[in-house]
Structure 1
Amino acid sequence: MGHVRYISTTTVQPTLQNESTQRIELTPWDLQFILFGYSQKGLLFHKPKPSTYDKYPNKSLIQHLQTSLSLTLDIFFPLAGRLAITENEDDNTTSFSVDCNGAGAQFVHAVADGVTVADILDPVLVPSDIVHSFFFMNGVLNYEGVSEPLLAVQVTDLFDGIFIGCTTNHSVVDGSTFWRFFNTWSEISRRAETSTENCRKISQPPPIFSREFFDGGIIDFPVRIANFHNQVPKNRSPALSAPLHQRIFNFSKEKIAQLKAKANAEMGTTKISSLQALLAHLWLSIIRNKHLNPDQESKYTLLVGLRQRFQLPLPEEYLGNVVQFGTVTSTVSDLLEHGLGWTAWEINKMIASKTKDEVRKYLEEWIESPQLIQLNNLASDYSFGTGSSPRFNMYGNDFGWGRPLAVRSGAANKSVGKLTVAPGAEDGSIEFEACLSPQTLQALDEDAEFIASLSK
């Protein structure tokens, strides 16, 4: 394997520079992530053909991507800002907001000498040493966005491919907003737009930054956090009880339909979704192969999207986090005895419990007593956490030379038990990036029932 060489680092600012003093307040949904690492997601492509460059007169591909990113930041201008921190002297609390100052995003051009597309896609285990090097700002936590860029892009040239990795501040955007940004940037690049005016005509609706949705006593901005600095972790890397390996598990549309039908039939319902059945199947398969004590408690934590669960549904274009953690808890014996349908139904009930009243109650209680979540509280050898969504448009990101070959994530927020979901490359398929111990992955590989559920 080759190694990554950094060619250049550039600050990319919006093309429309102004003396903006706009501030966007962070909500409890945003602030719950303030001690997490930045989000890291990227796309692997074949290397563009020489004819692709004909659309970019007198420009290299890197220059074109920088220009199109600058135009995209005209639309998503908060990502070109920084976090602003306010120490409230009247009650010794801390508040955060986004300062839309146009300071810029970081753009890194790198080369992975000797690394091919096959080196990334062919191994059974994700080659983490290489893939993680495709992302910038490793180890940066969200609260550090006060001095660090809120967005860093690394474009890495491979021998026969290219990887575009984005690192974004998770206290500013959730997965929905992140992929809307990615979709907008790829469309601007694909259309080879050169002016902000033309960019306003693209298919992606512009983001909405307003916090007026929280008027009427829901949130009294700014949100204040007591003893914030005492909660910042001294050890940034959770201790692992076992070595961590990563593997991509892909489930075809047909296999998912079979699991959904089985789960619903077992419970005499039609309400269990494809994803809920798949989550239950994965949870059960891992538990079955870990041979845990039957009385051991296991938890599955999900990020539940709330845009349609707010009192007045928030628009999909709303820029910010609109997600909440939800957890299903069971003993190992109950999971294995009750099986797929029961486990999927428990997940379904948890998600259904996030009603409009419960969502508002969460916001009010969080403001009264802020709870800053740390990663090592969510996943472990026997408890699991899933973020992202198979509904995000990841494979539609054509920058002008074809659709992506694969989606990969960086090192941020990784721990044993992290199961990141994404759409698969094939229509209707779903894949999981599973961070598990080598022993658990080996056991899954020898489990005929589990292997039969995977795409061929």
Structure 2
Amino acid sequence: MEGVGCISSSLIKASAQNGENGRVELTPWDLRLLLLGPIQKGLLFPKPSNAFVDCLKASLSRTLSHFPPLAGRLATTELDNETVSFFIDCNNAGALFIHAKADGVTISDIVEPVYVPSIVHSFFPLNGMTNYDGMLEPLLGVQVTELADGVFLGCTINHSVVDGTSFWHFINSWSEISRGSIRLSKPPVFQRSTFDNIDYPIRIPRALLEQIHDEDESIQAQPPLRERVFHFSKQSIAKLKEKANAEAGTNNNISSLQALTSHFWRCIIRNKKIISEEEMTYYLVWVGARPRLRNLPPHYFGNAVRTRIVAMKAKQVREQRVGDIAREMNKLNKSLQGTWSVG
């Protein structure tokens, strides 16, 4: 397959600015993601009309009027000689929009191979960035890549600004605007006042800020890994869930997700070179907090997730049944019941 060529690159600004959203504070959950990478998702479409790029730019500009943080940049305020605070400056600096073309690449070239083709990474903007780079780089990047028989829409959004739920909230809202809607069915909420016991702005020691900068500069690129997408039928997942519940001795308490992730964890450890069977292995679980927070608006725009870890020795993961591992996953889920606080 040939490479990707850039046709044009521009910054798309919101068609209208809302002065009420000039500054959006970052919460503790936002701040924890500063050194991680952004969220990247891609969508494949059949070949559209010739004017689709201009239409996307226009609808994106109108959508950004409802999502001013995505047209802004991260910024800091000096609170005193020793502390600073992070926030989103809704200055309408613009979102990155790239129009590109991949000659000779078809939709089947993307979806049919066993392993994800390396060219797919070239379909996304702002590659190699950390969320901290949002101080200078756009918080939202969109790349429209024309294929021989279709279009790939790649979106990159700063993870300190959105979680997965907010990411798709924006994409779905953009879709609404593109179809001619004037008002959004789910207007985003940016206020952080609903979080309890947080005194804004959050003070960050200046020494820690300098450490973040040093660590950001020292991050080394990892060698490229081969990526593969696995597809499980509804029937195979149901069968795996039934097996996990039988092995765990539970009355259908093991969910489909817990059964599938346990199966994955066991397969990975069995195929990984482990020096010691006593080595601890960990499964990181991302847990949505939106249903568990008091007074959080349904359409809150930001991060509302926290991480929890299931830890087991390599020997345990290798030798135990899927249901035994899933039971540990289920215990973690039960421990997360109830109302949470941010911190």
C-alpha separation in 2, matches of 1:115 and 1:147? 33
Aligned to 1:222: 201
Match of 2:144 in 1: 155
Match of 2:296 in 1: 314
List per-residue Cα deviations over 1:190-219 (Å, max 9, x = no partner).
Answer: x2x2xxxx421x4x411111112114xx21
Give the Cα separation in 1 of the matches to 2:247 and 2:295. Answer: 33
Structure 1 counterpart of 2:202, one-letter code: V
User: Which residue of structure 1 lines up, in the alignment, with residue 170 of structure 2?
Assistant: 181
Q: State the alpha-carbon separation in 2 of the partners of residues 113 and 18 from structure 1.
A: 41
User: What is the rounded CA distance, in whole Å, between the counterparts of 2:18 and 2:281 in structure 1?
Assistant: 52
Aligned position for 2:219: 236
- TM-score with structure 2 length normalisation? 0.92
What displacement does 1:353 show?
A: 2.2
C-alpha deviation, 1:338, in angstroms: 2.4
Q: 1:287 is paired with a residue of what secondary structure?
A: helix
Q: Deviations over 1:52-77 (max 9, x none)?
A: x6xxxxxx110000011111112112
C-alpha separation between the residues in 1 aligned to 2:296 and 2:331?
A: 22
The amino acid across from 1:102 in the alignment is N
The amino acid that maps onto 1:116 is T
Q: Residue 283 in 1 paired to residue 265 in 2?
A: yes
Instruction: Summarize deviations over 1:384-443 as a string: whole Å, max 9, x none.
Output: xxxxxxxxxxxxxxxxxxxxxxxxxxxxxxxxxxxxxxxxxxxxxxxxxxxxxxxxxxxx
SS in 2 for 1:40: strand
| Matched residue, 1:63 | 54
Partners of 1:113 and 1:225 in 2: CA distance: 48
Query: Which letter does structure 2 place at the counterpart of 1:347?
Result: M
Structure 1 segment 242-261 matched on structure 2, within 5 A = 244-261=225-242
Distance in 2 separating the partners of 1:235 and 1:83? 21
Partners of 2:287 and 2:21 lie apart in 1 by 33
Measure, in 2, the Cα distance between the counterparts of 1:337 and 1:82: 49
Structure 2 residue 295 is the aligned partner of structure 1 residue 305: no
Root mean square deviation, CA, Å: 1.9
CA contact (8 A) 2:278 2:313 kept: yes
1:120 maps to a residue whose letter is I
The partner residue of 2:115 within 125, 139, 144 is 125
Matched position secondary structure for 1:167: strand
Other-structure match for 2:65:
74
Q: Does 1:17 align with 2:17?
A: yes
Structure 2 vs 1, CA of residues 86 and 354 (structure 1 numbering), >3 Å: closer, same or farther? farther
- SS of the equivalent of 2:230 reads strand
Instruction: Report the CA distance shift for 1:327/1:18 in structure 2 as closer, same or farther (over 3 A).
Output: closer
Number of the residue aligned with 2:74: 83
Query: How far off is 1:254 after superposition?
Result: 0.9
Alignment-mate amino acid for residue 27 of structure 2:
T
Tell me if 1:295 matches 2:271. Answer: no
After superposition, what is the alpha-carbon deviation per residue over 1:95-124, rounded to whole angstroms, capped at 9, x for unaligned? 111111222211110011111111111211
Letter in 1 for 2:198: I
Consecutive unaligned residues in structure 2, runs of 5 or more? none
Residue 356 (structure 1) shift: 4.5
Aligned residue identity for 1:159: A
Per-residue displacement from partner, 1:166-195 (whole Å, max 9, x unpaired)? 111100000000011111112322x2x2xx
**Aligned-partner Cα distance in 2 for 1:177–1:283:** 28
Q: Following TM superposition, by how much is the alpha carbon of 1:82 offset from its aligned partner in structure 2, in angstroms?
A: 1.2
Aligned to 1:134: 123
Match of 2:317 in 1: 335
Greater RCO (CA < 8 Å, at least 6 residues apart) = 1
Secondary structure of the 2:271 match is helix
Match of 1:177, SS? helix
Q: Distance between the aligned counterparts of 1:18 and 1:322, measured in 2?
A: 24
The structure 2 residue matched to 1:325, chosen from 286, 294, 307, is 307
Q: What's the TM-score, normalizing by structure 1?
A: 0.70
CA distance in 1, matches of 2:295, 2:263: 31
Counterpart for residue 375 of structure 1? none
3-state SS in 2 of match to 1:14: coil
| TM superposition shift of 1:18 | 5.5
Q: CA deviation at 1:267?
A: 1.8
Deviation at 1:298, TM superposition (A): 0.9
On the 8 A contact 1:153/1:166 being kept in 2, the answer is yes
Shift of 1:21: 6.2
The match for 2:93 is: 103
How far did residue 355 of structure 1 move? 4.2
**Per-residue displacement from partner, 1:295-349 (whole Å, max 9, x unpaired)?**
2211111211111122x15233100000111111101221233211121121122
Deviation sequence 1:253-291 (CA, Å, 0-9, x none): 111111111111222222211111100011111212235
